[in-house]
Amino acid sequence: MNNESKEPDDFKSGFVSLVGRPNTGKSTLLNAFVGRKIAITTSRPQTTRNRLTGIHNQPGAQVVFMDTPGIHKPHDKLGEFMVKTAVQSLEEVDCAIFVVEPFWSNTPQLGPGDRYIAEVLKAAGLPVILAINKVDTIKHSDAILPVMDAYRELMDFVGIVPVSAKTGQNVPLLMDTVIGLLPEGPKFYPDDILTDQIERFMAGEIVRERVMTHTRDEIPHSVAVEIEEFSEREGGNVGVFIRAVVYVERESQKRIIIGKSGSLLKKIGTEARVDIARLLDTSVYLDLWVKVKGDWRRDDRSLAAFGYRRGD
């Protein structure tokens, strides 16, 4: 007997890429779609470095979202990897959401970054929804109108939705717009799967988020995290043992992350351990170290070792 469930004939499913400039709130929007935090978020631009998948399930549809690095002018090989990752994601999806944020001027002017992304989207030949994020920061609702008009000049959007990923405003409307563009098809993942990222990767991202939150200037962009050991422990008070190494490019950066008498590193480790334990739903022992690897962002071998593999 075949016990596999069969989806109704009108069930919709597909893949959607979130693209935009750095720090427009793509990762926060992904978390809002999924209903749980799976993508790290900070106030720093270029927080997202790899493509991250988030899965939304609802009666009659499954949407697989791809959060991508912000498209920007790269200054090193890591930047080149991030931009290439974002652009290549458009080859694998059914539609895209162009995530932007409101202007702070009474006379909106689009920057070269927005225009470049629009050209990339047009070349991909996909249906594109414009999501104007962070509308919770707008004091008067009419202020969004000139922003919408300015973006309409870039390309033909299948829909324009002002949203706030932070508060959830209009997120259901944006979801409905997405589902309306998807083809009929099967589920790609079981209902209890929210992301296809492995736990080892997620743990490293959480450590990096905590480092970025507590440091400033160029340090966040110079940080990479490598999980050297990730093992389940049977019995005792620890469910998972994790040894993580935070890599920076200079000794001065290492001293800052460690802090006076190790105080900052201890704070980073404590917060990361709590977040990882919540994610894994088990007790965690986090063994955290800091090491220096000079100019790793410009070295292909280091990029590959840290999981930033450049495609052909």
pLDDT digits (tens, 9 = 90+) for 100-156: 988 755 555 688 888 888 988 998 899 999 999 999 988 877 888 888 988 999 999
Task: State the CATH number of the domain containing residue 166.
Answer: 3.40.50.300
Q: What per-residue string of b and e applies to 151-187 under the rule 16 or more CB within 10 Å gives b?
A: beebeebebbbbbbbbeebbbeebbebbbebbeeeeb
Q: Contact at 8 Å (CB) between 29 and 21?
A: no
Rounded to an integer, the average pLDDT of 274-295 is 91
Give how many domains the chain has, as a whole number. 2
Domain shared by 31 and 137, yes or no:
yes
Domain shared by 170 and 226, yes or no:
no
Q: What is the strand order of the sheet 284-292 is part of?
A: 224-232, 240-248, 284-292
What is the residue whose two structure tokens read 């990762």? 27
How much is the pLDDT for 3?
Answer: 41
Domain shared by 221 and 283, yes or no:
yes
What is the residue whose two structure tokens read 């894994």? 280
Domain shared by 26 and 152, yes or no:
yes
Pairing of strands 61-67, 52-58: antiparallel
Residue 6 domain flag:
no
Q: How confident is the model at residue 97 (pLDDT cuts 50, 70, 90)?
A: very high
How much is the pLDDT for 310?
Answer: 47
Residue 40 domain flag:
yes
How much is the pLDDT for 303?
Answer: 77
Who has greater pLDDT, 40 or 190? 190
Residue 187 domain flag:
no
Token reading at 116: 């470049």
pLDDT of residue 42 exceeding 90, the answer is: no
What does residue 243 show for φ and ψ, rounded to 5 degrees? -110, 120
Residue finishing a domain among 179, 212, 237: 179
Mutual orientation of helices 263-280 and 251-258 as an angle, nearest 10°? Answer: 70
- DSSP state letter for 153: T
What average pLDDT is seen over the chain?
A: 84
Residue 28 domain flag:
yes
How much is the pLDDT for 82?
Answer: 65
User: How many Å apart are CA 277 and CA 197, to the nearest integer?
Assistant: 16
Residue 262 domain flag:
yes
Residue 311 domain flag:
no
Rounded to an integer, the average pLDDT of 264-286 is 92
What is the domain range of residue 167? 12-179
Domain shared by 154 and 22, yes or no:
yes
% of residues, the chain, pLDDT over 70 = 85
Domain shared by 171 and 54, yes or no:
yes
Q: Contact at 8 Å (CB) between 132 and 148?
A: yes
How much is the pLDDT for 302?
Answer: 78
How much is the pLDDT for 305?
Answer: 77
Domain shared by 51 and 163, yes or no:
yes
Residue 263 domain flag:
yes
Q: Is 293 exposed, middle or buried (0-12, 13-18, 19+ CB in 10 A)?
A: middle
Token reading at 301: 């071998």
| Strands, E assignment, 101-221 | 128-132, 159-162
How much is the pLDDT for 144?
Answer: 87
- Does this model's pTM top 0.95? My answer is no
pLDDT of residue 4 exceeding 60, the answer is: no
Task: State the CATH number of the domain containing residue 253.
Answer: 3.30.300.20
How much is the pLDDT for 2?
Answer: 42
Q: Is the dihedral of CA 191, 210, 163, 95 positive or negative?
A: negative
pLDDT digits (tens, 9 = 90+) for 181-237: 999 999 999 888 888 777 888 898 899 889 988 987 767 778 889 989 988 877 667
What does residue 52 show for φ and ψ, rounded to 5 degrees? -125, 130
Residue finishing a domain among 121, 151, 179: 179
Domain shared by 19 and 150, yes or no:
yes
Q: Contact at 8 Å (CB) between 57 and 5?
A: no
pLDDT digits (tens, 9 = 90+) for 43-66: 555 555 556 789 999 999 999 998
Q: Which range, 218-222, 224-228, 264-268, 293-297, has the best average confidence (pLDDT)?
A: 264-268
Domain shared by 222 and 132, yes or no:
no
Provide the 10 A C-beta neighbour count for residue 56: 19
Q: How confident is the model at residue 298 (pLDDT cuts 50, 70, 90)?
A: confident
Domain shared by 277 and 246, yes or no:
yes
The residues, ordered by sequence, that sit 6+ positions from 132 with a Cβ below 8 Å of its Cβ are 100, 101, 102, 144, 147, 148, 151, 160, 161, 162, 163
Who has greater pLDDT, 306 or 81? 306
User: How many Å apart are CA 212 and CA 116, to the nearest integer?
Assistant: 28
pLDDT digits (tens, 9 = 90+) for 25-38: 898 999 999 998 87
